[in-house]
Amino acid sequence: MNRRLALKQLALAAGGIALIPSCTFSEEEVLTAYDELEITASDAEQLQAVIDTIFPKTTLKGGVELGVDQFVLVMANDCLAENEQQQFVKGLKGFGSFTKENFGTSFTKMDEAERKTHLQSMMAGTEKKGEQQLATQEFLAITKKFGLQGYMKSEYYMTEIMPYQQVPGPVFIGKKKIDASEKVNING
C-alpha cells in the first residue's frame, strides 16, 4: 500500500523534473520511496532513459510505459544485498558523468542509436576495468535483470504476449502432440 502510494508520488516528482536545472542536482531531495538507495528524481530519470533504451516502444509496448523503471528501483531498494546495492547506486549516480567522460556526451543527450551502441559496449567486456566502469557494468546488468523480470511479469506481457491463466482447469495432458501453428507460450 505504502509502496503504491510512493510510486504515485514518484511519478509526480518525475513529471516535474524538467524544470530543475542540472546544476542544482546535488540539492535535490532524496526520493523517500527508495529509502535504501538515497536517489533523486534526476537519478530516476537517468534510469528511465536506460530502461527506455533496453526496452523501447516498438510494435510492442515499451518498458517505461509498463513502469519497468520503477520496478527496477523497487527491486534494487528492497531485494539486493548491500554490496550489490552499493554498486547499483554508484553506477546509477555516476552514469551521467561516466558517459560524458567516455563518449563525449552524457547518456540522456544521446540519440537512440548512440544510446544503444554505448550501452552495449558498457555492458560487454571482461577486461580489467576501473572502479566506476565496474559499477556501471554492474548497475546495467542489475537493471537488465530486474527489467526483464518487470517486463515479463507485467500484466501486459502476461495477458497479451505470453498469456497466463490463473485457473487453468482440471485437465492435464501429459503428452500432447505439438501443433506447429500454435505460438509457443512460456506461461501456457
Partner 1 sequence: MANLNIKSEEANTYGAIVIGSGMSGGFAAKELCDKGVKTLVLERGRSVVHNKDYPTTNMLPWEFDHKGQIPEDIQRENPVVSRCYAFREDAAHFFVKDKEHPYIQEKPFDWIRGYQTGGKSLLWARQVQRWSDFDFEGPARDGFAVDWPIRYKDLAPWYSYVEKFVGVAGYADGIPQLPDGDFLPGIELTAVEDYFKGVVEQQYPGRNVISGRCAHITGNAEYYAKQGRGICQHRVLCQRGCPFGGYFSSNSATLPWAARTGNLTLQNDAVVHSIIYDEGKGKATGVRVIDAHTKEMTEYYAPVIFLNASALNTNLILMNSTSSRFPNGLGNDNDIMGKYIGFHNYRGGVSGEYEGLGDFTTEGKRPTSGYMPRFRNVQKQETNFLRGYAAGIHGTRAKHVSYDGLGEDLVNNISSAEYGSWHIGSHMMGETIPKETNYIALDESQKDEWGMPQLRVNVEYDQNDEDMIKDYREQVSEMFDAAGFKNIKTWDDERRPGLDIHEMGGVRMGHDPKTSLLNKHNQLHACPNVYVTDGACMTSTSTQNPSLTYMVLAARAVDHAFGNS
Contacting positions for partner 1 (CB under 8 A): 3, 53-56, 58, 60, 62, 71, 74-75, 78-81, 116, 119-120, 123, 144, 148-155, 157-158, 161-162, 164, 166-178, 183-186, 188
- Give min distance, CB of 165 to partner 1, in A: 9
User: d(Cα 65, Cα 170) in Å, to the nearest integer?
Assistant: 36
Instruction: Tell me which residue has cell 567516455.
Output: 102
- When the beta carbons of 45 and 114 are compared against partner 1, the nearer one is 114
- Give min distance, CB of 113 to partner 1, in A: 9
- Give min distance, CB of 139 to partner 1, in A: 15
- Taking the alpha carbons of 117, 123, 128, 133 in that order, is the dihedral positive or negative? positive
108, 45 Cβ separation under 8 angstroms: yes
- When the beta carbons of 45 and 84 are compared against partner 1, the nearer one is 84
Identify which of 3, 1, 2 has the alpha carbon closest to the alpha carbon of residue 75: 3
Grid coordinates representing 58? 516498438
- Give min distance, CB of 61 to partner 1, in A: 9
